[in-house]
Each structure stands twice: as C-alpha cells, then as structure tokens.
Amino acid sequence: MNTAAKILISLIFLSGCTEKFVEPLHVQFQLPDNYLGFFEVRRAEDGFAIPEGVQMIAIRVPESGLVNLIDQSPLREWHKTSMVYHSQNVPIPVGVSLHTLWTDTEGTTMYLVGTDKEAEDSQRMSPWDVKPRGRPSP
C-alpha cells in the first residue's frame, strides 16, 4: 500500500474517532490557602453530588482534608485533576503538585499535595498510617 493510501486511511479512522471522543471530566480541587499534605475523597450520604454531564467540577477541600461525595462514580471514570488554592492568588509552591496515592475497595481515594519525593515515600506507608491532614507550608 502506498503512503498516500495509508495517510487517507489514517485520516478516515481519526475523523471517525474524534466525532465520538468526549472530553474527560476535569476535577479541580480547591484547597485552603497554603495547604500541603493529604486529603481524602470518600462516599457519604450527606456529601456533595457531582452533576451529570458536566465537563468541569470544582470540589472545595476543607481544612479537615475530608471531602464527602454522595456518589463517586464520576471519579472512577477517566478524568483530569488539578488544584488551586481557595483565594487563587496564592501560588502553588515550586516542586509541589497533586498526587493520587490510592483508592480502596469502597472507593475512598487519598490524595497528596506535596513533592514527588513525599508521594514516593507515601506509597511505602500503610494506608492506615495515611490520614487526611494539612500541614503549614514553609
């Protein structure tokens, strides 16, 4: 098969795929200013509901580091995550980012706002030792 035919087949395939492609949910965690450390997203009857069909949702993380959602199923699908501080004019410290540490069988997910080294160290910890809590930033 010649090169032009291969390109044409590729373009036809890609055009069919792009029509069916749906942008993944973007979850933006809004953290208390200067928050560093762990936070937990878990299922709770009195939690916040994620509306269906939205492309972006902002979830406010309280000082306690515990986020309750009525239904976490949107977070089980492929999604993008990002973080900002509540006031949005406090910069994220250099070297700090959002890390997903683990999700348990009940759907509770633990996140870390910290360095790559802290995330690596946290992976070696027992899940029972990882508690949601913030710590003062330097």
- pLDDT, tens digit, for every residue of 48-73? 787 777 888 889 999 999 999 887 76
Q: What is the pLDDT of residues 82-123, one digit of tens each?
A: 999 988 788 888 999 999 888 887 778 889 999 999 999 888
Residue 58: count other Cβ atoms within 10 Å of its Cβ: 11
As a whole number of angstroms, the distance between CA 93 and CA 136 comes to 12
Q: Under DSSP, is residue 76 helix (H, G, I), strand (E, B) or coil?
A: helix
As a whole number of angstroms, the distance between CA 56 and CA 76 comes to 15
Q: What is the pLDDT of residues 116-134, one digit of tens each?
A: 999 998 887 766 666 666 6
Supply the pLDDT for residue 98.
93
Q: Are 75 and 109 in contact (CB under 8 A)?
A: yes
Give CA 18 to chain center in angstroms. 24
Is the pTM for the entire model greater than 0.95? no
